[in-house]
Chain A
Amino acid sequence: MDLNIVWFVLIAVLYTGFFVLEGFDFGVGILLPFLGKTDTERRSIINTIGPHWDGNEVWLVTAGGATFAAFPHWYATLFSGFYLPLFLLLMALILRGVSFEFRSKDDNPTWRATWDWAIFTGSLVASILLGVAFANLLRGVPIDASMRYTGGFFNLLNPYALIAGVATVLVFILHGALFLSKKTTGVLVERAQQTARRTWLPALIALITLLIGTLIDTDLLQHRGVWGSLVVILPLAAILLTGYFIRRQRDGWAFVMTCLTVAFTVTAFFVALFPRVMVSSSDPAWSLTIYNAASGPYTLNIMVIVALIFTPFVLVYQGWSYWVFRKRVGNNPKTLTY
């Protein structure tokens, strides 16, 4: 396996980690105003992801940095090309990030309502935009021979990308609801379970629509052939099993299955993309690939060494932090961390 492939896989792993982890905390953020009826309930909901959301987001920051280091042309074309969606994504992430820290530091109800709104909006907007952006990478966008994005903002708002945005939101809501069902207590558990039951079917439909859209609107079938295209079965199987476990009231297993749904969707995406990183709709030959967009072998080599040494540590201590906070978050305002 050459270094370029190694780096493609590593970046795919980083995005998979990001979507699986931040996926449920985006879902929790979107559900916050609906599941939390009282201030204490909302605080409990936030505290389920309080210690983790920032670490989850670092997966995205690292993916961005790794893209810059390993595939600078991908980084340059993507970030300057998808300018406005990325700008909106940054705004959403900024608002959402500070809100977790700020919302409880003042008693004023308007203050709290404002930051709660920011958590909801930030989580929702970020989820949609990420779905839209990734779908466009695969579907193809206008890119010229010198790797420059020649489209505009509205090129990105095609039906396929919008379906991806909606599917991302619905799957994250399901994912977040199942996370909450395992991490809260009392009435919140019931509400989370109910939400999971109600969201499952819409999420399933959206995901099926997305997968069918992928077969129609991208070059997956020609590019990977019929057998290769079967990769789309994986997320489908996982979300069907999610439904099975929800019905059996096995929330933990259902959550494992939404983790797999997200992970398999991202995997299918990268399988369909490989060896390209951004498909050009102007001319397939102008697509950015892991070869024409890459750094030199020396840089790739060094970064592989760095990644192989440090990634295991990250997995261990981040895993440990989930273990430290493995207990359900209570609903006694006296023992909640504010």
Chain B
Amino acid sequence: MSRRRIGRIVGRSIVVGGLALFVAVTVAPLLWLVISSLMEQQALTAKPPDFSAGSFTLANYAGVFAAAAQLGQGFANSFLVALFTTAVAIAVGAPAAYALARLAIPGANTILLMILGTQMLPGIVIAIPLFIVMSHLGLVDTRLALIIVYLSFNLPIVIWILRGFFLAIPPGIERAAAVDGATTAQIFRLIVLPISLSPLFATGVFAFIESWNEFFFALILTRQSARTAPLVISQFAGQYQTVFGQMMAAAALAIAPVVALAILFRNMIMKGFAEGMVKG
């Protein structure tokens, strides 16, 4: 075997090994989540956990569904909030990103940095002011409050990601459209948007997941009617007892839509993110 061949095999092994480690670290908690959602509390909390066949049960899921009214409400809230947040983030973010990518806007770089700057503040710093503002507006414990807050951190990310995609579009296409007589708005609507469906979708999925998973602001800004799925799940950890199995079952149900979304549109998401990385 030649030296080069050995080198290639070693290099490949390092890459494969690294990826395997990454996958293991990422997947292990999920796997544990699913396993523990299927185990009886006693078997789960035993040391070491009792993995015998008798320990597995669907009772946790049955328990979760028994509390379905609450959980259903949480899921519905999460879904509506995530959907609206995503829709508005894309609808507002895409034109903003295009403008910042292509139009000669005075101070565009400053604007971009300011948008990024909003991401620098830890949530805890703005939590209390935010609560006060929302309470003055009478928005505490409403889905609208969550949508507004989630937009404030989703929109900057959406703008930054989409701007990267739009910059990667070969400008010749837009120039051709300009020569053909299209206005900037027409170029955006008829040329740029249709060829950016994959990136738009990938970014949308990203924004959706961000909103779906959010816990902290939901905890602060909601009480009862607007509570989202993560909050409902957390309630399985009570003051005197944590119902691990049910909590895990609810969590498994909560990540299911996101995982399904990712698997279903895997190709489109991959294509979307890959497109932004290829120079036009």
Report if A and B associate in a common complex.
no
**B residues at A contact (CB < 8 Å):** none
